[in-house]
Amino acid sequence: MLVQTCSGLVQGIALDGAYVFRGIPYAAPPIGSQRFKAPMPVSAWRGIRTCDRFGPIAPQKNVPNGFMPELAQSEDCLNLNVWTSGTSAALKPVMVYIHGGGFVSGKGAECDGLRYAVEDGFVFVSINYRLGTLGFLYLGELLGEEYGTSGNNGMLDIVAALQWVQRNIAAFGGDPSQVTVIGNSAGAKCAATLYAMDAARGLFRGVIAQSGATQSIRDRHTANTTTMRLLDELGITRSQAHRLLELPAERLIEAQSAIGFDTSRSLHMFGPVADGSVIPTEPLGSLGTRSHLPPLLIGTNEDEAASFIQGDPLLWPPSLEIAGRLFGTSAPIVWESFVQYNDILPSAQAWSRTLSEHLYTIGAMQLAAAAADAGASVWMYRLQCGGPLGAIHGYEGSLINGPQNADSAINPDDPHRVDPEDYPLARGMRAAWVAFAKTGNPNVTLLPAWPVYDSERSTMVFNRVSRVRTDLPEPAGAGVPHQVWRVRSCS
């Protein structure tokens, strides 16, 4: 299949009832003098560009046994992938997937859009964006106005990809007026952050945020603190900060890994910056000044932190020190939450619930409330059904994208496994996600009626028997101010 884009002809490959175009550049390479600067338009090319392979991904620390480790890493990573069943008289709705990975890892290739294209009738797009130091290192106070966007270049990359979709997706059979942005974990935090960005207005019709909201946006002071730590690790003084423009990307990745809380994918120090320009200084407060906010489907899982605690010895046993590393000045409030839960639950369960709520649940509730109060149609969910460790971080993706029939193999040791008894729930959730992306409303016959998150704060509780609740207990310490983070947090 040949498609004429604004930059040139691209050729995809046929794949099981659809076509996939891999590695299409959506912006100019952010290399050389463009490092740490906002993305620029991609240059046109002559002839046909064959798009049969995934493009390079953003520089990142290799994860042992990670997904698709063979993919090349490069600063020239601003490319995307498109799955489509082809063109027709009626344009199809579009889903744009933003990958997670704690703002320091991940790749657009991790989500296969084939099923969405073939079974659900979407044009599906997945994107790469700059990560870690190269995408979210705040340099405005060190290198001047020319680098004022550096703390948000990863977000501006996503905006550039959405602008590419607006200009080009109709040629792939997609409707630019029906774009839904979907993300999980850090990808959900990116999707939610788009809500507060003037540059993103009009680029999407709806947002699906799975286990992530605006809680990873940090203020300039915190962002600058991370920058200072990186300079110290590199042995660079403030007056020598310009050396960051010349160091090999591999050295920057080594340094950012060294200053992190640990080296796993679960914790991070980077994220969007409330710089007052790209992102308002009070992101949630700014929603009240906006009109016609797009619909939002958002939620979290009951046991978000369980897999992090099991896989990271630095998160156990519970301590005020760990809370301080994760939550900074809010640590006493978080610790008090643990103390309250520890009176009624075993310590392990109390600690898992505390981290789950303060890293994910509270942030999602705050964004949902702010968006609903600003006039947006918001649907909130809480997933309680899970695998061996419960409804852990990312488990809704296992249900929505995973096996949904009794012939699928089950690995009993996989915390993301989906048991056959949960296939009906998986089908219902997927149907709701598809309905939301097509119509802006997730109500489907496979689930109970799902009201919006209004003053009653109605929440769909997903389980083997799902139901709507308005009486979910408020998380302990829910008043902690998460509008702008002044600490590092989970992915």
Catalytic entry in 185, 330, 458, 466: 185
Residue at 296 is within a domain: no
- The domain total for the chain is 1
Residue 400 belongs to some domain of the structure:
no
* Phi, psi for residue 232 in degrees, rounded to 5: -60, -45
Query: Rg of the Cα trace of the chain?
Result: 21
Return the pLDDT at 71. Answer: 93
* Cα angle 234-238-241, degrees, rounded to a multiple of 5: 65
Token digits of residue 158: 């996503």
Residue with tokens 């310009």: 242
CA distance 206 to 196: 14
Could you write out the DSSP letters of every residue in 434-478? Answer: HHHHHHS----TTS-------TT--EEEESSS-EEES-PPPPTTT
d(CA 47, CA 32): 26
Catalytic residue among 99, 358, 393, 416: 393
pTM of the predicted structure, to 2 decimals:
0.95
Burial code (b: 16+ CB inside 10 Å, e: under 16) for 229-265 equals bbbebbebeeeebeebeeeebeebbebbbebbbeebb
Q: Is residue 435 part of a domain?
A: no
Per residue of the chain (491 residues), give pLDDT as tens. 999 999 999 999 999 999 999 999 999 999 999 999 999 999 999 999 999 999 999 999 987 566 788 899 999 999 999 999 999 889 999 999 999 999 999 999 999 999 999 999 999 999 999 999 999 999 999 999 999 999 999 999 999 999 999 999 999 999 999 999 999 999 999 999 999 999 999 999 999 999 999 999 999 998 999 999 999 999 999 999 999 999 999 999 999 999 875 433 334 689 999 999 999 999 999 999 888 899 999 999 999 999 999 988 889 999 999 998 888 788 899 999 999 999 999 999 999 999 999 999 999 999 999 999 999 999 999 999 999 999 999 999 999 998 665 555 567 788 999 999 999 999 999 999 999 999 999 999 999 999 999 989 999 999 999 999 999 988 876 765 554 444 444 34
* Helix, strand or coil, per DSSP, at residue 17: coil
Is residue 357 flagged as an active site residue?
Answer: no
For 185, what's the count of Cα atoms within 13 Å in the CB-facing half-sphere? 24
Which residues touch 90 (CB under 8 Å, ≥6 apart)? none
Q: Establish whether 393 is a catalytic residue.
A: yes
* Residues spanned by the domain of 75: 1-283
* Candidate list 75, 302, 304, 357, residue with the active-site label: 304
DSSP run (H or E) holding 158: helix 153-168
Give the strand pairing for 48-50 and 9-11.
parallel
**Dihedral sign from CA coordinates of 401, 407, 408, 411:** positive
Q: Which two tokens stand for residue 249?
A: 């990307």
For residue 75, is it within any domain?
yes
What pLDDT is recorded for position 100?
95
Residue 217 belongs to some domain of the structure: yes
Q: Residue 353: in which H helix or E strand, if any?
A: helix 347-356
Q: What is the pLDDT of residue 407?
A: 52
What is the identity of the amino acid at 107?
A: K
Of 300, 306, 456, which Cα lies nearest the Cα of 382?
300
Answer yes or no: is 19 within a domain: yes
Angle at CA 239, nearest 5°, toward 30 and 31? Answer: 10
Q: How far is it, in rounded angstroms, from Cα 445 to Cα 112? A: 26
Residues 6+ apart with CB under 8 A from 150: 36, 37, 137, 138, 139, 140, 143
Buried b (16+ CB within 10 A) or exposed e, 341-365: bbeeeeeeebbbbbbbbbbbbbbbb
Tell me, yes or no, whether 402 lies in a domain.
Answer: no
- CA atoms within 13 Å, Cβ hemisphere of 228: 7
DSSP line for 67-132: SSTTS-B-S---EEEEEES---SSPEEEEEEE--STTTS--GGGS--HHHHHTS--EEEEE----H
In this structure, is residue 373 part of a structural domain? no
Contact yes or no for 81/108 (Cβ under 8 A)? yes
Q: Is 185 tagged catalytic?
A: yes
DSSP-derived secondary structure letter, 195: T
* Whole-angstrom distance, CA of residue 450 vs CA of residue 467: 9
Cβ atoms of 264 and 311 closer than 8 Å: yes
User: What is the predicted pLDDT for the residue at 262?
Assistant: 41
Residue 203 DSSP one-character state: S
Report the distance separating Cα 450 and Cα 389, nearest Å.
27
User: CB–CB of 293/195 below 8 Å?
Assistant: yes
Structural contact between residues 366 and 358, judged by C-beta atoms closer than 8 angstroms: no
Distance between CA atoms of residues 257 and 267, nearest Å = 11
Could you tell me the CATH number of the domain that includes residue 273? 3.40.50.1820
